Each structure stands twice: as structure tokens, then as C-alpha cells.
Chains A and B, each alone.
Chain A
Amino acid sequence: MRAKLAVYWTGSCGGCDVSFLELGPGLLDVLSQVEIVFWPALVDAKRQDLERLPPRSIDITLVNGVLRTEENAEMVALLREKSRFLGAYGACAHLGGVPALANQGNGILEAVFGPGFRPAPPFPEAPEDTPPDLLPEALPLDEVVPVDFVVPGCPPPAGLIARFFEAALSGGLQPGQVFAEEKALCEECPRVREERRISRVLRPHEVLPDPEKCLLDQGMVCLGPVTRGGCEASCPKAGMPCTGCLGPTPKAGDPALALLSALASLVRAGEEGEAAFPEENRILDGLVDPIGTLYKYAFAKYGRPLRRLARRREEVRA
């Protein structure tokens, strides 16, 4: 019997839905073993169709995207009820992803429309249709429903998608499974580490990196040391620093703080000592936008608790 599969998108760019094509001919094998019961990007099925399904009748559900609206939250709760296994697919569902960087501000509408922004008064007659309300914050999937497994990445790389389907379609899905390595990306990166000290911190557009040497050694902020392997270091191989889309290794904890710690220990302005402090600070100032760089995908999961604390204080003061 074919496994019943659902794929749903919430606050998503659509890249995760496209990523399945990366399987190439392997996609045909997968499709021959599944029955698609719900997948808005591919087949016509509406919320009512989903509501009619008996509980736990979908074998595997993959959710991609961040949770941004009330409707997103309702839909994933509905999918949770109808699914035996529900997983986060891609960095947004897993960690909040890039759209969750919006949590830095005090509300997305104020940030876009300015401090004087007020919602329009409601229409006197109930409109036929209205967009769903925004959630106060952009959330990863597991903040709203229990998540059984994770296929990480932005989007998930082909090898990990294949590994996931292999496990899922042979009945080998384990609760809590993350389809990526526990070891850091550096383990599979072919670049050579040498210097272990850096005298500048650069953004990708500021340097044409040496093809062989470690990008971190060259002053690029590469999240490889704190990020799970599993992508075969595809970005570093192409001369771009890892931005951490597979999420932190279990040992790294908060990826931004872990990388910050590593980066700071590598920085040198000549001989270490009091005389070098100002120049060291100047080098460290090369890390512009530390939140966007270090928490690119994981802000909702790791940076948000402190941001929340600060926001509550701002509210108390106001």
C-alpha cells in the first residue's frame, strides 16, 4: 500500500516545494510509493478536503515555511490532527528561517508602515473575505504543534531529502530524528585550515576567496564550525561561507554565540596585549549586522528569548 503524503507551505518562499525536483530520477521512485493526499503546490485540494479526512489518516506530512498568520497556525494544527508523522521541512519550519528575522523589530506592520501606523477601522458590513490576522511573532513549527522529525536546510539538499524518503518509506522514521549529521560541516569541507588567526572580518562581496584555504581563515564569517554537516559543504566549495541553514550541531547550542566565541578567539592585531585592543576592536567591527549574519536562520529559536525580554521591558516603560 502506498504511503499517504501531505506537503504544506506556510510563510514560505516556495523553494522547499521546488527542492523535491533535486532528487532527479529518484523522484519517480518516491512518487511510485506515495499517494499525495494534500499538496497545494501540486494538486488541487482545499482545506475542506483536509477537514474531511479521518484523524491520523495521513502517514507523513511535511510542513515548510515559518508560521506568520493565524491561518498558518490553524492549518498546521489541522494537519497535526490528521497525520501520523509530521515533520519540519526546511530552515523556516525548523528554526524560523530568514523571515523570522522580522522578530527583531516590534511588530512587522509598524516596521513597514512607520510609527504612526494604525489598522483601518473595520468595514460597517462584514466583508466577503479578509486576510488572516498576523501572529505577534514569526514562529518555527514546533512552537505551535509537536514535531516528529526535521528535514533541515534552505532548501533541504538532495542527499538529505533522499535519506529522509528512504527512512520514511521503509517505515524507519524515528521520533526526534534530524536528517543531517551531528558533526560539524567542517568535517566534510575540503578546504584546508592553516592560519587559525584572522586580521580582518569580511563580507562575501569584499573578497575573492582563495580556492583551497578555509574561508574563516580568510576572514569570512563561515558558520561551518557550528552547523550540522549533510550538504557536503556545497556553499564553502563554491567560495561562499556557510550561513548555517542546516541548523546548529547538538554540541554548538546557540549557533550565533558559539560562532561569535570562535571568531573572537581567532582575531589578532599583531602581538596580543593592551596595545592591540583598539585595532582588535576595529577588526571585530568588520562583523556588520551580527544578528542577520550569525542568526540568519536560527533567530526565532535562539535569539528570540532575549529579544522578548527586552521587548517586555520596553512595554513596561512605555
Chain B
Amino acid sequence: MSEFEPKVVAFLCRWCASAGADLAGTSRLPYPPNAIPIRVNCSGRVEPQWVVEALKAGADGVLIGGCHPGDCHYVAGNYKTRRRVYLLRKVLAELGIESERVRLEWISATEGARFAQVMAEFVAALKRLGPLHGNGGAR
């Protein structure tokens, strides 16, 4: 059987994290191609229901990428998301889902290398956790 390849849904904010991901690409930085990126205008727009929907629909992990503290294009969207993710991870843990499956990272538009590093770390962490869904990522 081939190695388990985690499926990741990445909600990336338009102003920072998504631009960072683009930079990783144009810089030809290698990183695991496990993420389905979804660009949102602000990390503050990411509803906890979307994260849970992604997990229910087959994702093994969800990454939310936003601007660094103080850099949010909409001033405070990333702060709201930080608080939401804090509570959501608690709820997931109580339900028996490892909270590490939901990850919030600050990635600026200039941090292509950081995006690549975050992806590599996250995918490695998810491989250690194993598949969330019973089929074990069999393709």
C-alpha cells in the first residue's frame, strides 16, 4: 500500500497568505502538494462551519493562513479568527478529533519560504496523526 497522503484544505487570505503561497510557487520552492487552496478575502471570513465541513467532507487537516498581527488589511479579522480557532480546537478535542488538525498560521506576502515550510510541517504532522477518515487515504 502506498504511503498515506493527507488531504489538506487551506483557507488563505487574499492579502497575505495567498500572496505568500503565490510567491512560493513563482520562487519554485518545493513543498508537499497536499493542499487544496481556497482564497478568501480575509482569514476573519473563515467560519468554523467551513472548517468542520472540510473535515467532514474528507480533509485530514485544515490550514488557515492570515496576516501577521497588526498587518490585517481589515484591521482585526485575523484576531477574530485566532479566537474562533482557539474555541473550535477545544470543541474538536472534546469530540475526539485531534486539535492539531486545524492549524492557524500567520504568513505575509513576502514569506513564500515560510508558506512552503508551514505546508511541509503540517503535512508531516498529519502523516503522524494518520488519516481522519477510515479509508486511510487509499486511492
Q: Interface residues, chain A, CB within 8 Å of chain B?
A: 104, 253-254, 256-258, 260-261, 263-265, 267, 272-274, 277, 280-281, 284, 287, 290-291, 294, 303, 305-307, 309-314, 316
Are A264 and B80 interface neighbours, CB within 8 A? yes
Contacts of A104 in B (CB 8 A): 94-95
Name the distance in Å between B131's Cβ and chain A's nearest Cβ.
8
- Say yes or no: is B120 at the interface (Cβ < 8 Å to chain A): no
Q: Interface residues, chain B, CB within 8 Å of chain A?
A: 47-49, 52, 55-56, 69-70, 76, 79-80, 82-84, 86-88, 90-92, 94-97, 130, 132-134
Are A306 and B56 interface neighbours, CB within 8 A? yes
Interface centre among A257, A277, A287, A291 (most CB of B within 10 A): A257
A306 touching B55 in the complex, CB below 8 Å, given contacts A264-B86, A291-B95: yes
Bound-state Cα–Cα, A308 to B92, Å: 12
Are A272 and B76 interface neighbours, CB within 8 A? yes
Name the distance in Å between B50's Cβ and chain A's nearest Cβ.
9
Contacts of B92 in A (CB 8 A): 306
Nearest first, the 3 A-B pairs at minimum CB distance are A310-B96, A264-B83, A264-B84
Bound-state Cα–Cα, A104 to B88, Å: 16
Name the distance in Å between B89's Cβ and chain A's nearest Cβ.
11
Name the distance in Å between B34's Cβ and chain A's nearest Cβ.
19
Are A290 and B97 interface neighbours, CB within 8 A? no
Are A306 and B69 interface neighbours, CB within 8 A? no
Give the residue of B47, B76, B80, B91 whose beta carbon is less than 8 angstroms from that of A290.
B91
Q: Using CB atoms, name the residue of chain B closest to A315.
A: B134
Contacts of A260 in B (CB 8 A): 48, 84, 87-88, 91
Mind listing 29 A-B residue pairs with CB under 8 Å? A104-B95, A253-B49, A256-B91, A257-B91, A258-B49, A263-B87, A264-B80, A264-B84, A264-B86, A267-B83, A272-B76, A273-B69, A273-B70, A274-B69, A274-B70, A281-B86, A284-B87, A287-B90, A290-B87, A290-B90, A291-B91, A291-B94, A306-B52, A306-B95, A307-B96, A309-B55, A309-B133, A314-B96, A316-B134
Name the distance in Å between B44's Cβ and chain A's nearest Cβ.
8
Are B48 and A257 interface neighbours, CB within 8 A? yes
Give the residue of B83, B96, B130 whose beta carbon is less than 8 angstroms from that of A311.
B96
Contacts of A290 in B (CB 8 A): 87, 90-91, 94
Bound-state Cα–Cα, A314 to B95, Å: 12
Bound-state Cα–Cα, A164 to B33, Å: 54
Q: Using CB atoms, name the residue of chain A closest to B49.
A: A257
Bound-state Cα–Cα, A312 to B136, Å: 12
Contacts of B87 in A (CB 8 A): 260, 263-264, 284, 287, 290
Name the distance in Å between A43's Cβ and chain B's nearest Cβ.
42
Bound-state Cα–Cα, A260 to B80, Å: 11
Contacts of A306 in B (CB 8 A): 52, 55-56, 92, 95, 97
Interface centre among B90, B94, B132 (most CB of A within 10 A): B94
Bound-state Cα–Cα, A297 to B136, Å: 32
A284 touching B83 in the complex, CB below 8 Å, given contacts A306-B52, A313-B132: yes
Bound-state Cα–Cα, A30 to B79, Å: 54
Bound-state Cα–Cα, A55 to B133, Å: 42
With A260-B84, A284-B86 already in contact, 18 other A-B pairs whose C-beta atoms are closer than 8 Å: A256-B91, A260-B88, A260-B91, A264-B80, A264-B87, A265-B83, A267-B83, A273-B70, A273-B79, A274-B70, A281-B86, A290-B87, A290-B94, A305-B56, A307-B96, A309-B55, A313-B96, A313-B132
Interface centre among B95, B96, B130 (most CB of A within 10 A): B95
